[in-house]
Chain A
């Protein structure tokens, strides 16, 4: 592609190793992006379920989820709209812990994350296992606010952040991949920021 006449670029990253191609460092701002009306959920009424192709479909209440071993992610997040935030902290429970309790069946290979709003997003099972995904209720030491997905959201930081479903309430294990909400609307099925898998048709 040709160079844009007169464009020098002002935001060349100080830490290019941390920023995937086409991303910029948003600093301490945390933009929000949502396609639906932000729900205001009572944490005591919120539950998280793991079902579908599992041995023991299991649902945890807010208190039960908090009684599980807690897990924290320290690192970066990348939004498809091109901002990245470096060195964030998310605290909650590892998806590994939830899956261990539910016992995925051998044929389970994909996950559909469901939100209370009806939002969905699909992920390969291997992208949410092995310490790569969390159900989080805290960001940078504070409770997640509703606009950022509170009381709890999925956090899958190695993929574009639309995969990190806000207001997550259910992880459904599936044998075959199916497109979620944005994936039906032109976005990539996997969404690896380092490969710039933004839209359908990207590598």
Chain B
């Protein structure tokens, strides 16, 4: 694999902002002197108060590296200082401090056949991977399993399905699939084709998904995990 790019501090202007669901905001930014990312990398967003107090959080990139804008999807955390600002205060035209891309481990460029299991906003890095796979004609090398409570709460639900992700909803039925997390026999055929697995979600989801992958035949040392806490 090539050396993953790492970018320093820069700024980005919000060009588009929308809220696909109550707890999710999607920001598309024009980044000054942008360093191109690899699918799976993340950015840090830093907010600065007039007295120079700062708060910063990391967010996975949803956009294809080829996209002229950088797309971040941010879940509103209870009492979240940064996510709350991005949801309720930030507007189109605002300039944010950004740093990225960051992280060279949880990236996929197509050299290995992969299965990706994401829970909730944990699907975001896989959206970037899926968009990249589609553009580069490598759809068959990437299998995404996306898990959410309901279709409206799962970020990028429609796009994930359109591009061939297996989606499992735990709180509502989906067609003839009853509400439930993915079963091992649903995941096993995808594991069979995979040389590497990526898991992204909350600590609880990551524990569940790594167990599911191992029960479905994935080797533990071929599983890469990215988990996030409730850190606002």
Contact = CB atoms under 8 A, between A and B. Distances in A.
A28 interface: no
Given A7-B49, A35-B106, A21 B223 contact: no
B106 A9 contact: no
Interface residues of A, number: 40
Contacts of B11: 1-2
B57 interface: yes
Interface in B61-97: 79, 81, 85, 89-91, 94-97
Contacts of A32: 203, 227, 229
Interface string A36-59: 111100000000000000000000
A82 B57 contact: yes
Given A1-B9, A11-B81, A35-B224, A83 B104 contact: no
Contacts of A118: 221
Interface residues of B, number: 48
A11 B103 contact: no
A185 B46 CA distance: 21
A123 B196 CA distance: 30
A3 B48 contact: yes
Contacts of B95: 2, 4-5
A1 B48 contact: yes
Contacts of B129: none
A24 interface: yes
Cβ-closest 3 pairs across A and B:
A31-B229, A185-B104, A9-B49
26 contacts: A2-B48, A2-B95, A3-B48, A4-B85, A6-B85, A6-B89, A7-B47, A7-B48, A8-B50, A22-B46, A22-B56, A26-B231, A32-B203, A34-B225, A35-B224, A36-B223, A37-B220, A37-B223, A81-B229, A81-B231, A83-B229, A83-B231, A184-B104, A185-B104, A199-B6, A201-B8
Interface of B: 4, 6, 8-9, 11, 46-51, 53-58, 79, 81, 85, 89-91, 94-97, 99, 102-106, 203, 206-207, 210, 214, 220-221, 223-227, 229-231
